Structure 1
């Protein structure tokens, strides 16, 4: 198996914290046992001075080449990622968000799976509070193709900040399309529907920051609108059956409107990432 070059695609926008971004970048580049061959930073609209300085700093000091593309106005994540994919020099692309942390062996473990024939590979995740040592849970995804394909009819089987994929497979499925807050799930479902070979590494290789309001953002009327649009899109392309559509509308719809404390428990117990979010002993 020949090792292939790969790009790291990292979008930023005005709400991102400069210190968090610097940690995300460093953990995904300089601290990796297998480094990306380039980084594509897509700046989605104007940012504050502190974040602008952080961006300039990593461009100047990065151990690998960095493409810093600035979009004049904020256009949203799906469109920003589409632009970023076009700027990537390599077919294999790793995703990262500006407030999470990659563990040092992430790419060393993920890349061989893509190089061996998979089109899309995610990983497990730790959830942590603003302090890195404050781990509050662990997402354990399904790992086998048949498990992932089955589970995808009900819930997103991948955590977006963890994935590595082939750009050609993303394009074959139609690329990122804006769909409220569901553009990643919509893309992964279309990739599976188009025949992509998929897998997950069960080990947590990314630390996902859980800030204030994380569970509140998973509920409410806007989330319900996105949910309903997603389920209609799934049914339109034949990704779900009519029975699955009704189940998803009812179960996932109720989840969007239950009180936040109950939503938090439900998310941790039943939904997060595949086999559920295993609480830590302190919870």
Structure 2
């Protein structure tokens, strides 16, 4: 996990409580403080120091998610690593089901699952499902158009990720760029069919995924995919034509596209 001064202490507390409530607890929990953190956030984290195997990694300045996760991964003691965000909530059997998936699919190097997005509470009605493709072939095809894994629900082999260059400074797309490098190195990626994480969504999330800065980051990562040979020029143009305009829409219109075109309601 990585957190920084912009995270809500109560959301972080709920995230850590969700881990405590899991049917399988982690043997090691590395939490990176990405730059100086306010006292309420530190206090929320400290309240779990006797309930979870927390190890804090302090960065003197904010480096961004990619660098923070790269540093955190170097501190992880085990080869199978679960990723998680500081404002989402793990379903109570997330790790139990993911460990079962690993046992059933020993060839897989990284995988995630669908996630369910909520606004106020995981128990609310009309949550939105963000699905991902199942099957390594379908995932590899999908990755040429969209991010094939839900980052907050990912588990991966540390050695394969380090061999692929670890997380790097691909602003806004640290995870997507990593999955592409893994695919290019022949790693096996897949997804579970059922959700494992409740994700905090709403207006703030949609705002973060738009604007000129995000559009420029979108162009940069697609350009990287093109120059590395992962996609061809027609795919590069298609991806930019589909994705860049959405980043520049108003928050209201972008929210509508997410809900209607890219998600479906959980029944």
Q: Could you say which TM-score interval applies, normalised by the shorter chain?
A: over 0.9
Q: Contact (CA 8 Å) 1:114, 1:165: kept in 2 or not?
A: no
Q: How many pairs were matched up?
A: 264
The match for 2:93 is: 105
2:211 corresponds to: 220
Q: 1:219 deviation in Å?
A: 1.8
Q: 1:278 aligns with which of 232, 246, 264?
A: 264
In 2, Cα distance between the equivalents of 1:222 and 1:196? 31
1:131 is aligned to 2:121: yes
The equivalences for 1:24-43 within 5 A come to 24-28=15-19, 30-43=20-33
> TM-score of the superposition, structure 1-length normalised?
0.89
Tell me the C-alpha RMSD between the 2 structures. Answer: 1.5
Q: Which residue of 2 aligns with 1:252?
A: 243
The match for 1:171 among 156, 162, 170 is 162
Aligned residue runs from structure 1 range 1-283, under 5 A: 10-28=1-19, 30-59=20-49, 61-62=50-51, 64-115=52-103, 116-135=106-125, 136-271=127-262, 277-280=263-266
Q: What TM-score do you get using the length of structure 2 for normalisation?
A: 0.94
Q: Can you list the C-alpha shifts for 1:59-113, whole angstroms capped at 9, x where unaligned?
A: 2x22x42211111111111111111011000010000111000001111111233
- List per-residue Cα deviations over 1:151-185 (Å, max 9, x = no partner): 00010011111000001111121111111211111
Q: Would the aligned equivalents of 2:116 and 2:266 in 1 still touch at CA under 8 Å? A: no
Unaligned runs of 5+ in 2: none
Task: Measure, in 2, the Cα distance between the counterparts of 1:123 and 1:44.
Answer: 26
CA distance in 1, matches of 2:191, 2:86: 22
User: Per-residue displacement from partner, 1:229-257 (whole Å, max 9, x unpaired)?
Assistant: 00100011111011111111111112212
**Higher percent of residues as strand:** 1
Secondary structure in 2 matching 1:215: helix
Distance in 1 of aligned mates of 2:12 and 2:148: 25
Q: 1:178 to 1:144 in 2, by over 3 A?
A: same
Runs of 4+ in 1 over 6 A off after TM superposition: none
Higher alpha-carbon deviation: 213-222 or 84-93: 213-222
Q: Secondary structure in 2 aligned to 1:69?
A: strand
